[in-house]
A and B are shown apart, each in its own frame.
Chain A
Amino acid sequence: MNFTVVPTANYLILAAALFCLGMLGVLIRRNALVVFMCIELMLNAANLTFLAFARERGDTVGHISPFFIIAVAAAEAAVGLAIIISVFRNRGTVNIEEIQSMKH
């Protein structure tokens, strides 16, 4: 059985583009929630890289890492959003330029 597939390098370039879009969002946006969503984009780019290499090498372990990344992303989203709610309650804003000191 021989398949003609899209080369792995194309998937890696897509992952690089996705990672850079997430990085651009983290660097230029001011809304902490949008910054958080951009971090999720970067995590997904990492997942895509793992899966691309898993197919290239025929290795199921490449599917285990995205599984754990999804679980850790869920935990990270819960804690991060709790922090954002707590900051919003104390400061009344989620603009990261107005949140510059640790004390409240």
Chain B
Amino acid sequence: MNAEQLLFVVFSIGTIVSAASVIFVRNPVASAMSLVASFFFLAGIYVLLWAHTIAVLQILVYAGAIMVLFLFVIMLLSLTDTGPIAQLSPSRIAGAIATVALLAALVSVFRKLPSSDTIAWASDAGRVATFGTLKQLGAVMYTQWLFPFEAVSLLLLVAIVGAVVVAKSRI
């Protein structure tokens, strides 16, 4: 077992366990903290996939900015969640069964994929050295994907204005 296999097992167990505790923990603050833990483990998985830049973004933007926003709202609303996490109802049971069926279908499909433990293009050392670096990501982003990049800035502006308009009682 090499380092990547060992780290993959550790990070994937951490991701799944903390993602499950997001759902099955009653307190919303505990849910949010489990989600932060899940994002950190996922960032580890991203590094294993040679996506260092996205892993850093995941921690900065997701675990940092977005989850702080969530925690602010949870504490602002000061929710006291009593009672069971989920009452059994026909629609919930149907949802759970559908989820398990979807997971079984996806896993059975993915197990049929040709699984090779080498990467075909990795014999090219120069390509491996630049893959997923900020430099290469920026070069693609600011040439091929310039318009979507600018469109995202407009989307963020609209989201800021929209959030203020929706959340503020009197403008």
A binding-site residues for B, Cβ under 8 Å: 1-14, 16-25, 27-31, 33-34, 36-38, 40-41, 44, 47-48, 51-52, 54-58, 60-61, 63-64, 66-68, 70-79, 81-86, 88-89, 94
Contact = CB atoms under 8 A, between A and B. Distances in A.
A71 B150 CA distance: 12
Contacts of B122: 1-3, 58
Give the top 4 A-B pairs by smallest Cβ distance, nearest first.
A27-B95, A75-B159, A7-B115, A16-B106
A47 B54 contact: yes
A77 B12 CA distance: 25
A81 B28 CA distance: 14
A60 to B, nearest CB: 5
Interface in B123-171: 123, 125, 127-128, 131-132, 136-137, 140-141, 144-145, 148, 152, 155-156, 158-160, 162-164, 166-167, 169
Q: How large is the interface on B (under 10, 10 to 19, 20 to 34, 35 or more residues)?
A: 35 or more
Given A1-B128, A47-B54, A81-B70, A13 B23 contact: no
A55 B51 contact: yes
Contact of A44 (B39, B119, B127): B39
Given A33-B79, A61-B145, A78-B162, 9 more contacts: A1-B123, A4-B2, A8-B113, A11-B49, A12-B110, A21-B20, A34-B31, A40-B66, A63-B132
Given A7-B116, A20-B103, A34-B28, A73 B23 contact: no
B137 A67 contact: yes
A67 B142 CA distance: 13
Main secondary structure of the interface of B (DSSP, over half): helix
A65 to B, nearest CB: 10
A76 B62 CA distance: 12
Contacts of B152: 68, 71-72
B66 A3 contact: no
Given A33-B73, A60-B137, A63-B51, A14 B45 contact: yes
B141 A3 contact: no
Contact of A23 (B12, B99, B145): B99
Nearest to B162: A79
